[in-house]
Amino acid sequence: MSSVLVAMSGGVDSSVAAALLKDDGYDVVGLTFINFDFRRLNPDKSVQHCCSHETVNNARNVCDCLNIPHYVINRVDQFGKKVLENFKSSYFKGLTPNPCIRCNSLVRWPELINFAEKLGVEFIATGHYARIKSDNGHYMIYRAYSKAKDQSYALWAIKPDFLKRTLLPVGCYEKNQIRDIATKHNILNAFYPESQDLCFVMDDKYADVIGFLKSGDIVDNHGKILGKHKGLINYTVGQRRGIGVSAQEPLYVLEIDTDHNRLIVGTDEQLLKSDFEVEKANWFIKVSAGDEINCLAKIRYRHEAVSCVVRIKTKDEVAVRFREPQRAITPGQSAVFYDGEALLGGGVIKRFRK
């Protein structure tokens, strides 16, 4: 009998992942990470939030229901060094980071593999909505059947070698089917609401985590001062609401100028760009310097993948040109490349061409 270690957050998706694998005959073990002590920031608001006692207990109760063992491990230090520090430093550089992607690639998958090795467990699994397929021993990530829930975008940075040991059982289901399966297995969290925050941020209060805020000028493309911003960490490229400047037409954040502590704003049309550079690339296919790849690209989780040309500069750096200009290409966010349903690779947006 094959064995599998399942990352269990206390939510319905990871709970059903464990149930499905047990139904398929796997010897299942549950594992819950404590990555962040939310009580340090909000001692009265930790209920039902990631890494709280309540969510850990939810995972434990599901494991009891499924009659499988459950472990809890503390990875607060690792998460802090590999995810939180980057999150903070990125905002001070005017970038908009993807902490969930860093967590997947630098904490969750490596720690799952490491703990599985200690237990002598063959596979690992999560509740992500994505799929993994093998073609003659070459493993690739594919989009989930559910287009609304697909999370392949968040998995681009995982080491390719990890895929052969990874199972993603919920990727073949719609969300309503997952809740139905949870109900059939008497899993109590079947209809719990989904978290909309980052696991270490409550109510979008990033300043609680990042700290110091410094006001500065809001300017247009020509440097004309239009008002004052409330600290650059409160803004991201493409944002309209909350700028606090009145004008004849709607204004959007065009650029975050940390060198001069300025917020540069302009029209929606000025947000449209075609060319940008990507760094820290990770590939699930073979690439060589000079290659050009015609594919699809997403530049945000909710962005519809659109046609582009990717030119490989080095294994880690690429230049991308959209065939049609796209709105709000945002440094610090991820650009993820697809061939149809297959995830080819991705990287971090470094800069766009003005």
| Residues annotated as part of the active site | 103, 199
**Considering only CA atoms, which of 321, 354, 313, 353 is closest in space to residue 337?**
321
Provide the edge-to-edge strand list for the sheet that holds 252-257: 225-229, 216-219, 262-266, 252-257
Distance CA 305, CA 225 (A): 36
Full DSSP string of 333-346: SEEEEEETTEEEEE
CA distance 254 to 272: 10
Contact 151, 343 (CB under 8 A): no
The dihedrals phi and psi of 101, each to the nearest 5 degrees, come to: -70, -40
Report the Cα 70 to chain-centroid distance in Å.
25
Q: Which residues pair with 7 in a beta bridge?
A: 31
CB atoms within 10 A of CB 67: 8
* 3-state DSSP assignment of residue 98: coil
Structure tokens at 107: 């904490």
Cα–Cα distance measured from residue 127 to residue 171, given in angstroms and rounded to the nearest whole number: 8
Report d(CA 272, CA 21) in Å as an integer: 45
- In sequence order, which residues have a C-beta less than 8 Å from that of residue 258 and are 6 or more positions away? 92, 93, 94, 232
How does strand 292-298 pair with strand 252-257? unpaired
Instruction: Report how far residue 323's alpha carbon sits from residue 352's, in angstroms, rounded to the nearest whole number.
Output: 15
Q: For residues 171 and 127, is the Cβ–Cβ distance under 8 A?
A: no
